[in-house]
């Protein structure tokens, strides 16, 4: 399902001052436009403070826009009534960066993954037993076992928690997934497993991915298209191969050069 971001600007409120106050507030997003085609993986690259997290919050309408529109299959997300918004949220899900902070520590895995089914029970109409079955199916889908069902998040490793987060995001059968740095808190080895899982799920379920990362290697591995964002503005966007092989902007070139290459011969310190 395609997502269109049209001229989105987000300014965080100017500090309340007099009418003559010059303070314009903080421009977190400045005229950002993107098109995410259905079934593809779209990467968004940026450093901290570039506005990438604000953009996801704007897409999910956890934040209001100052200007612009966010269209999901042609419907303006920010123009929806609360009830329709709730329905839409079942189809547009997010996986967060920090697998430790994004799961409620007081809930069992079963309750965490079942929560979307409870929130949207008007859509799914499942009995308690059917819900539990669906939770089991989801856990299996992300590579966890049934004995994990009634354990608490703190008993799991970072990688397992991220799988739980993915299972929760998939529970309401979404067709669009925002992945907000889903692997940057994980070890490289675990990152590889999670990336492969995401790739497999996309093929099985026909998902559209909006993948946010600061790791260009990961973006290159998983994404078809990529956009580079810097201080709230899009620097450039296009197919992954094109942007990475022939970056047009200085900023992208700098980012590529700063990525530490695991080949010792490419170290800038060992030129001698």
Partner 1 sequence: MTMIQTSLPKRDTSARLENWSRAFYRFRQSWLSVIGLAIVAVLIVIALVAPLIVPYPEHVAGATDTAARFMPPSAEHWFGTNALGQDMFSLVLVGSQVSLFSGLAVVIIAIAVGGLVGAVAGYFGGWIDETLMRLTDLLLTIPSLILAMAVAAALGTGILNMIIAISITWWPAYARLIRGEVLVKKEEQFITAARALGAGPGRILGRHILPNIISPVVVKASLDMGFAILTVASLGFVGIGVRAPVPEWGTLLSTARGYMPDYWWTALFPGFAIFLAVLAFNLLGDGLRDVLDPKARR
Partner 2 sequence: MSLLEITNLNLAMRSYEGETQILHGIDLKIERGEIWGMVGETGSGKSLTGLSISRLIPAATGRYLAGAIRFEGTDVLNATEREMRKLRGRKIGMIFQDPTTNLNPAFRIGTQLVDVALHAAEHDPSVLGLSGNASRRERRRAARQVAIEMLGKVGISDPAERIDAYPHQFSGGMRQRMLIAMAMIGKPDLLIADEPTTALDVSVQAQILRLIHQLVLERDIGVLMITHNLGVVAQLCSHVAVMYRGRILETGPVRTVLKQPSHAYTRALLAAIPTVHTKRGELRGIGDIMAEAG
Give the interface with partner 1 as residue ranges (CB under 8 A). Answer: 60, 62, 85-86, 89-90, 93-94, 96, 98, 101-108, 110, 115-116, 119-120, 129, 132-133, 136-137, 140, 146-147, 149-152, 155, 165, 168, 172
Residues 179 and 94: their CA atoms lie apart, in Å, by 6
Task: Name the CA dihedral angle for 126, 207, 8, 218, rounded to a multiple of 10 degrees.
Answer: 130
Residues 145 and 149: their CA atoms lie apart, in Å, by 8
- In the list partner 2, partner 1, none, the entry touching 218 (Cβ below 5 to 8 angstroms by class) is partner 2
Q: Select 66 or 249, whichever has its Cβ closest to partner 2.
A: 249
Q: Select 35 or 57, whichever has its Cβ closest to partner 1.
A: 57
**Residues whose CB falls within 8 Å of the CB of residue 52, separated by 6 or more in sequence, listed in order:** 44, 46, 180, 212, 229
- In the list partner 1, partner 2, none, the entry touching 205 (Cβ below 5 to 8 angstroms by class) is none
The length of the chain in residues reads 272
Least separation, in Å, of the C-beta of 106 and partner 1?
4
C-alpha pair distances (Å), 180 with each of 80, 126, 130, 220, 249: 24, 30, 30, 16, 24
Q: What is the CA radius of gyration of the chain?
A: 20
Q: Select 65 or 227, whichever has its Cβ closest to partner 2.
A: 227
Least separation, in Å, of the C-beta of 251 and partner 2?
9
- In the list partner 1, partner 2, none, the entry touching 187 (Cβ below 5 to 8 angstroms by class) is partner 2
Residues 148 and 167: their CA atoms lie apart, in Å, by 13
Give the number of other Cβ atoms within 10 Å of residue 250's Cβ. Answer: 9
- In the list partner 1, partner 2, none, the entry touching 260 (Cβ below 5 to 8 angstroms by class) is partner 2
Least separation, in Å, of the C-beta of 193 and partner 2?
4
Q: Select 147 or 265, whichever has its Cβ closest to partner 2.
A: 265
DSSP 8-state code for residue 16: P
Q: Tell me which residues touch partner 2 (CB under 8 A).
A: 47-48, 157-158, 187-193, 195-196, 199-200, 214, 217-218, 220-222, 244, 254-255, 257-269
């Amino acid at each position: 399902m395609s997502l269109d971001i049209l001229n989105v600007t987000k300014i965080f409120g100017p500090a309340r001052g007099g009418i003559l106050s010059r303070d314009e507030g903080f421009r977190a997003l400045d005229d950002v436009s993107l098109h995410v085609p259905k079934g593809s993986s779209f990467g968004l690259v940026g450093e901290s403070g570039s506005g990438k997290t604000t953009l996801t919050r704007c897409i999910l309408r956890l934040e209001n826009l100052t200007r612009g529109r966010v269209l999901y299959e042609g419907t303006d997300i920010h123009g929806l009534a609360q009830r329709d918004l709730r329905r839409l949220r079942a189809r547009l899900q997010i996986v967060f960066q920090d697998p430790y902070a994004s799961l409620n520590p007081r809930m069992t895995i079963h309750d965490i993954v079942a929560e979307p089914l409870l929130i949207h029970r008007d859509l799914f109409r499942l009995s308690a037993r059917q819900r539990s079955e669906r939770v089991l199916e989801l856990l299996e889908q992300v590579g966890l076992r049934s004995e994990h069902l009634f354990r608490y998040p703190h008993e799991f490793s970072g990688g397992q928690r991220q799988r739980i987060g993915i299972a929760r995001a998939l529970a309401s059968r979404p067709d669009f997934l925002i992945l907000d740095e889903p692997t940057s808190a994980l070890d490289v080895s675990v990152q590889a497993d999670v990336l492969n899982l995401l790739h497999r799920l996309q093929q099985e379920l026909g998902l559209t991915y909006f993948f946010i990362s600061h790791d260009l290697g990961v973006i290159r591995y998983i994404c078809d298209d990529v956009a580079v964002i810097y201080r709230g503005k899009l620097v450039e966007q296009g197919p992954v191969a094109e942007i990475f092989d022939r970056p047009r902007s200085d900023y992208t070139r700098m980012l590529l050069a700063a990525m530490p290459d695991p080949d010792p011969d490419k170290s800038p310190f060992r030129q001698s």
